[in-house]
Structure 1
């Protein structure tokens, strides 16, 4: 799991991940084999000790009872004979155990058994240790000095020359790598092809090196699971499968910073601190907290980075307390949801068409490519997503497109034509079924002015108004919007179908999350409640460009 986490985070590449998996597999095989080998050697050692004790006790008993020897004499003779017998018997046992251990602890690699055993036994470190042990035994009084010392010296010399030759080979290889001929470098550059150009990730998360523990699941990091949860939830909400989110570290940003990247460009930035919690003020709490004051990145609310020991106090005071991984995940969810249209492309549209064709083959057969092209359908879906309309009910959307495709092929006009067919799902995305829909309307004179202006410039689909008039209009809408939101209700502006696309575009650029609906998009049985009316001064309303 740790290897997969590092691979998904971009810390290692595919080759390094494969190498680490091989190492883990070899370690697992080795320790499993060693368990069996230890049981085999342990049984042999226990048998040797029992034989040694039986020989000593039996020898003492025979020497004292049958040969009338004293305990000291019997001990000297039979203990010496027992040790000699044990040494002679252990030599073939040692060779047998060594051979068995080599076979049993054989690890599955690309090397043969002989090559693997040779590499392990020819290790200078292993030979040096064996040489030191033999020389130590040769220095003990009563031991065969010549045999142990000579064998120790021979192993020491072999270890020295092996170490020297390996260092020489390594230095030679390093020298060859450093001295690269200039023509070889040019040849490498000449071999550059399209495979060397790394594609841009559609969705990515760049984190500073200080935030890497958040993606390490072994140390309790939860960011990976949170990101996967966001992808699953968002795909379900907007109606198509969001591409995998690539997480990678970026040494060019601060250790506690992160960037949210869409199609290669940074769309969101933030800073979190491991070991602390983010206490978010919902808006009406005046109790201060001990910590670093900041702004919650997803919704722009006032917040504090506090020690985790103060989290319970912050929750009691009414703050919303989240950990760093949740703060990043919430920010990413907000960015992706507000830019859902950029996540939809030609491939995703084709996959949606293929999915619907399995259930309604005739519908898709008549729609694409007979009535509309895939690119036109893609643009209509992007227009809906851009205004916060889910495309989960894709069959109804394609059915509406088929019925309206005879009137126009323009994606913008098609979007306006199919929105009334989706009115119920649009409204239920704002309020629950059975609830009153709070709406904001325009004053009659202002709405008539905008209607006339847009009809005069129908080809450009824009209203040529003075900047001061547009600013006054936006300020008036913003005032009503914030007043409704302070009452805990969603802000919904309802206007005529003619001006809805233009007004939705300019308010989305200035005010963000304001739903702009046409009268025709509200179901007939939907109860509404007018909670605000937008108007501007008369002298400003006449400021229309010629």
Structure 2
């Protein structure tokens, strides 16, 4: 409360704003009062002046508004203004019919417009009514109706765009909330304006009827009160016309303000500067118009002076616009040069040497014919795919993929590309930028002609076909992929396999910081007393190397904290962490029914492998040699091949003591094979043993 200003500290404007609710309440009650209570001429003059001043003020506000939604209260103001004018019409009608006068304002308007000719005044009044009713009110009402319809139709698309920007990380939650409120406010405003325009239209009709009643009723009352017909017509006609003008001129101003508000576009400046900028932005058009008007002035019988003056004014406008255009062009050039200088400032010798030392963590080099694939107008270029790829890696693997830098390399073939990690090539491939890749999933009805190829991501046979054959290939049962998706899919698989190399200590530090926001006690307990960031990095690398997602960082850190007092061996900690993440592993490899299909090893083989890794308690277990291990991997590969023919996702299931050794053994020959331990299988899961791997001969001595 110390920062709350006291009543003495408030300025006069601030005090008025604080009392605005009181003023508004009494004002609305006063409007109702004018409909039933008689007003003296002096009070009526004051209220008529207030009505005219308010209309002028509202018109100026709409002309200086930068956006229509800046005046969201305009529909309500329109309602109050219409009600105010009707109340003044009732009060003035009462004065005209009862006393034959209606104050100085109405008398002055009627005398000034009509003068000595009542017909002229009546025609002027009718012209104003027609302009108000037919042109402005009808046009602004139609614009409000169409604008409301289009705003409501575009609202779902705007909401989806906001959600897309929020999901893409371009905006935060607060900005997204503000944008949604802005969209809702815009829809509410145009919807309200659509209804409020009916008030203006009804006001014009009511003004015309009231004017007719005043004229007929006044003449009749004057004649019955002893006045001659001529005197009654003269007096009441002037008062009626004055009353109509006093009410219709503010109505015309307010309806014009409504039309300006619903027809103006959003801009950083008001209507005046915006109009001047746009009108003066085409100096050539201004010069042509000046020459045309000058030629019209030369026609026989035409008054030359007004046309020559207007032509001269347009020439001056053309010179001003030309100078402004030259200034804008110069500003654009200077801005471009400044941006280029800022983007690539002249490097010093030290900066050039330092730049040479920088190595991109992940990069993609492409040939010159693949450059158009980087970004296209449809939003399906390589850059767009990489942005989606980073989100998928974060959601699935729990790792924020480092930015992938794309550059052209003239040393590569025109259709070739290569993927680099830490500046070293880890994969390469070639795509046809103008063709589509068709792959036979095994169900194609016939062969399709094209350029034979191999899918770079999975090594499957494929065919490059023209875009005209795409529909035919899909009908035959081929899977058709565009060249950008072929390249990005290969990039995705390569980066997924390279995640252990890409994750750095800084990445681990960020992951730990995110986990600390959820589980601060675990992080404080683990780091730095029990494990360092480097040791946690090694555990995460081991997990990623075998395709284990690390999204559940609190669970990983909790497991490490529980077991670090007993051992700091990274491999052992990795196995314990895998067991803690067993449910996620089972979800990853189970089928839709929750069943894990696995092949197992003969118990004798497991005993011999346990002896090889030094974890067997059997003193009679014989050692094994490289030839035995090679044949074992071949037997596992054959069993996996047979089991996978049914379309099942098959894993190798062994005891926990040999899981890591066997996983490393088969990784070089069978990189996609998952090796799980019995301790990692959640008890609630169903395990289907597809086959058991057996060796036909005993293990030879090492």
Residue correspondences, number:
410
Q: Is 1:543 matched with 2:700?
A: yes
Tell me, in whole angstroms, the C-alpha distance in 2 between the residues paired with 1:42 and 1:344: 66
Deviation at 1:223, TM superposition (A): 2.3
SS in structure 2 at match of 1:514: coil
Tell me, in whole angstroms, the C-alpha distance in 2 between the residues paired with 1:220 and 1:387: 34
Q: How does 1:141-160 map to 2 (within 5 A)?
A: none
Residues 472/36 of structure 1: CA separation in 2 closer, same or farther (3 Å cut): same
Deviation at 1:35, TM superposition (A): 3.0
Match of 2:648 in 1: 489
Query: After superposition, what is the alpha-carbon deviation per residue over 1:46-96, rounded to whole angstroms, capped at 9, x for unaligned?
Result: 33122111xx3369xxxxxxxxxxxxxxxxxxxxxx9xx99x999977974
Q: Is 1:49 matched with 2:295?
A: yes
2:420 to 261, 267, 273: 261
1:294 to 453, 458, 481: 453
Q: How does 1:24-103 map to 2 (within 5 A)?
A: 35-38=281-284, 40-53=286-299, 56-57=300-301, 96=316, 99-103=319-323
Deviation at 1:41, TM superposition (A): 3.2
Q: Is 1:423 matched with 2:574?
A: no
Residues 293/435 of structure 1: CA separation in 2 closer, same or farther (3 Å cut): same
Match of 1:234 in 2: 393
> Does the 8 Å CA contact 1:33/1:105 hold for their aligned counterparts?
no
Tell me, in whole angstroms, the C-alpha distance in 1 between the residues paired with 2:577 and 2:379: 48
Deviation at 1:38, TM superposition (A): 4.2
SS in structure 2 at match of 1:510: coil
Match of 1:275 in 2: 434
2:603 to 430, 439, 444: 444
Match of 2:409 in 1: 250
SS in structure 2 at match of 1:251: coil
Tell me, in whole angstroms, the C-alpha distance in 2 between the residues paired with 1:466 and 1:259: 38
Query: After superposition, what is the alpha-carbon deviation per residue over 1:98-137, rounded to whole angstroms, capped at 9, x for unaligned?
Result: 642343324347779xx9xxxxxxxxxxxxxxxxxxxxxx
Tell me, in whole angstroms, the C-alpha distance in 2 between the residues paired with 1:509 and 1:532: 22
Deviation at 1:319, TM superposition (A): 1.1
Query: After superposition, what is the alpha-carbon deviation per residue over 1:420-452, rounded to whole angstroms, capped at 9, x for unaligned?
Result: 111111111111574211111001111111111
Match of 1:77 in 2: none
Tell me, in whole angstroms, the C-alpha distance in 1 between the residues paired with 2:446 and 2:437: 15
2:324 to 94, 99, 104: 104
Tell me, in whole angstroms, the C-alpha distance in 1 between the residues paired with 2:388 and 2:412: 26
Deviation at 1:476, TM superposition (A): 0.2
> Does the 8 Å CA contact 1:37/1:104 hold for their aligned counterparts?
no
SS in structure 1 at match of 2:581: helix
SS in structure 1 at match of 2:512: helix
> Does the 8 Å CA contact 2:444/2:477 hold for their aligned counterparts?
yes
Residues 99/38 of structure 1: CA separation in 2 closer, same or farther (3 Å cut): closer
Deviation at 1:404, TM superposition (A): 1.0
> Does the 8 Å CA contact 2:436/2:466 hold for their aligned counterparts?
yes
Tell me, in whole angstroms, the C-alpha distance in 1 between the residues paired with 2:315 and 2:443: 82
Tell me, in whole angstroms, the C-alpha distance in 2 between the residues paired with 1:432 and 1:446: 28
SS in structure 2 at match of 1:528: strand
In the alignment, structure 1 segments of 5+ residues that lack a partner are 1-30, 60-81, 116-186
Deviation at 1:493, TM superposition (A): 0.6
Tell me, in whole angstroms, the C-alpha distance in 2 between the residues paired with 1:270 and 1:109: 45
> Does the 8 Å CA contact 2:454/2:462 hold for their aligned counterparts?
yes
Tell me, in whole angstroms, the C-alpha distance in 2 between the residues paired with 1:38 and 1:454: 87
Match of 1:170 in 2: none
> Does the 8 Å CA contact 1:277/1:324 hold for their aligned counterparts?
yes
SS in structure 2 at match of 1:267: strand
> Does the 8 Å CA contact 1:238/1:340 hold for their aligned counterparts?
no
Query: After superposition, what is the alpha-carbon deviation per residue over 1:434-487, rounded to whole angstroms, capped at 9, x for unaligned?
Result: 4211111001111111111211799xxxx9742211110110000011111111
Q: Is 1:195 matched with 2:359?
A: no
1:526 to 668, 678, 685: 685
Tell me, in whole angstroms, the C-alpha distance in 2 between the residues paired with 1:433 and 1:403: 33
Q: How does 1:117-516 map to 2 (within 5 A)?
A: 191=350, 194-218=353-377, 222-283=381-442, 285=444, 287-432=446-591, 434-455=593-614, 465-516=624-675
TM-score w.r.t. the length of structure 2 is: 0.54
> Does the 8 Å CA contact 2:294/2:311 hold for their aligned counterparts?
no
Deviation at 1:320, TM superposition (A): 0.6
Query: After superposition, what is the alpha-carbon deviation per residue over 1:322-351, rounded to whole angstroms, capped at 9, x for unaligned?
Result: 110011111111111222212211011000
Tell me, in whole angstroms, the C-alpha distance in 2 between the residues paired with 1:485 and 1:517: 17
Tell me, in whole angstroms, the C-alpha distance in 2 between the residues paired with 1:110 and 1:308: 46
Residues 221/32 of structure 1: CA separation in 2 closer, same or farther (3 Å cut): farther
Deviation at 1:231, TM superposition (A): 1.7
Tell me, in whole angstroms, the C-alpha distance in 2 between the residues paired with 1:283 and 1:409: 49
Deviation at 1:218, TM superposition (A): 3.4
Bigger Rg, structure 1 or 2: 2
> Does the 8 Å CA contact 1:277/1:308 hold for their aligned counterparts?
yes
TM-score w.r.t. the length of structure 1 is: 0.69
Tell me, in whole angstroms, the C-alpha distance in 2 between the residues paired with 1:233 and 1:388: 14
Tell me, in whole angstroms, the C-alpha distance in 1 between the residues paired with 2:645 and 2:511: 39
Tell me, in whole angstroms, the C-alpha distance in 1 between the residues paired with 2:448 and 2:614: 55
Tell me, in whole angstroms, the C-alpha distance in 1 between the residues paired with 2:312 and 2:363: 63
Tell me, in whole angstroms, the C-alpha distance in 1 between the residues paired with 2:281 and 2:410: 43
